[in-house]
């Protein structure tokens, strides 16, 4: 899942970037209002963490404009001002939540995850289940039919995105935009390469990740009964 962090204070931005990356998110950082505008115009974010006081404009203005333009991603405001009126203002302008600085990273993380859970997906607590596949979003580990599967962070991110859209076709472009950082060097093969890695680890005979010719990939949500390691050999 890809996040945009809009924050002009470098230490805070670096702290958020490091912490959220370690938690398995693809993270872009914008340090002022125009950079944030440009980022939202060109990339697809699953959530935005938006500081209120920014060079070149306020987070409130940005939020209002983005909502007018149709941005649907949840927005979490960061504000140094602990005034009720500001909080209400932010939410009225289309924000989904707010956090007052200084904040604990764990609280920010919990709120971001809660915002992402409001999306079209099935998650129970920290677990995302698709048939026999279980993703533990907190521990960043996967299991298929009870068997742990060792995945790299990128593989996990890719599988998580497919799982959150299980049963629907996801284009290579969408996977690229939501799983890789915006400054990653575009490579038309990289998504296919990582899907191949995933399939190898999930078991090649198992049609969990289907290729939909000309459209992309689909994670089959149908409960699988023959995915035990024994059945795969």
CA dist., res. 205 & res. 215, Å (int) = 22
Output the DSSP codes for 60-116. HHHHHHHHHTT--S-EEEEES---HHHHHHHHHTT--EEEESS--HHHHHHHHHHHH
Nearer residue to Ca ion within complex by CB, 51 or 96: 51
Instruction: Examine residue 102 and say whether the peptide bond preceding it is cis (omega within 30 degrees of 0).
Output: yes
Residue nearest to Ca ion (CB): 53
Among 43, 53, 91, 141, binds Ca ion (CB under 5 A): 53
What SS3 string covers 115-178?
HHHCCCCCEECCEEEECCEEEECCCCEEEECCEEECCCHHHHHHHHHHHHCCCCEECHHHHHHH
- Does position 121 interact with Ca ion (CB under 5 A)? The reply is no
From 47, 86, 83, select the one nearest 66 (Cα to Cα).
47
Nearer residue to Ca ion within complex by CB, 37 or 51: 51
Least distance to Ca ion, CB of residue 111, Å: 18
- Does position 71 interact with Ca ion (CB under 5 A)? The reply is no
Stretch that binds Ca ion, among 6-14, 85-93, 103-111, 188-196 (CB under 5 A): 6-14
Least distance to Ca ion, CB of residue 98, Å: 14
CB atoms within 10 A of CB 123: 16
Nearer residue to Ca ion within complex by CB, 36 or 218: 36
CA dist., res. 46 & res. 89, Å (int) = 22
- Does position 8 interact with Ca ion (CB under 5 A)? The reply is yes
Among 37, 51, 96, 155, binds Ca ion (CB under 5 A): 51
Nearer residue to Ca ion within complex by CB, 53 or 109: 53
Nearer residue to Ca ion within complex by CB, 55 or 146: 55
Quote the tokens at residue 173.
């472009």
Least distance to Ca ion, CB of residue 57, Å: 11
Least distance to Ca ion, CB of residue 79, Å: 9
Nearer residue to Ca ion within complex by CB, 8 or 86: 8
Point out which residues bind Ca ion (CB under 5 A). Answer: 8, 51, 53
């Amino acid at each position: 899942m890809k996040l945009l962090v809009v924050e002009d204070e470098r230490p805070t931005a670096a702290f958020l970037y490091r912490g959220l990356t370690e938690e398995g998110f693809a993270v872009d950082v914008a340090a002022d209002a125009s950079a944030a505008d440009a980022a939202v115009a060109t990339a697809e974010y699953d959530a935005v963490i938006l500081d209120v006081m920014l060079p070149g404009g306020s987070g409130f203005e940005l939020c209002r404009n983005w909502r007018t333009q149709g941005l649907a991603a949840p927005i979490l405001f960061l504000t140094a001002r602990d005034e009720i009126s500001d909080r209400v203002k932010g939410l009225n302008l289309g924000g989904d939540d707010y956090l007052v600085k200084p904040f604990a990273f764990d609280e920010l993380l919990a709120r971001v995850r809660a915002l992402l859970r409001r999306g079209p997906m099935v998650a129970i607590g920290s677990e995302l289940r698709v048939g026999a596949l279980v993703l533990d979003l907190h521990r960043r580990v996967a299991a298929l039919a009870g068997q742990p599967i060792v995945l790299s962070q990128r593989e996990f991110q890719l599988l998580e995105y497919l799982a959150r859209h299980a049963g629907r076709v996801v284009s290579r472009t969408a996977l690229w935009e939501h799983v890789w950082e915006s400054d990653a060097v575009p490579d038309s093969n990289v998504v296919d390469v990582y899907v191949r890695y995933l399939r190898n680890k999930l078991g090649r005979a198992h049609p969990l990740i289907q290729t939909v010719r000309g459209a992309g990939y689909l994670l089959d949500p149908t409960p699988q009964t023959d995915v035990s390691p024994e059945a795969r050999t």
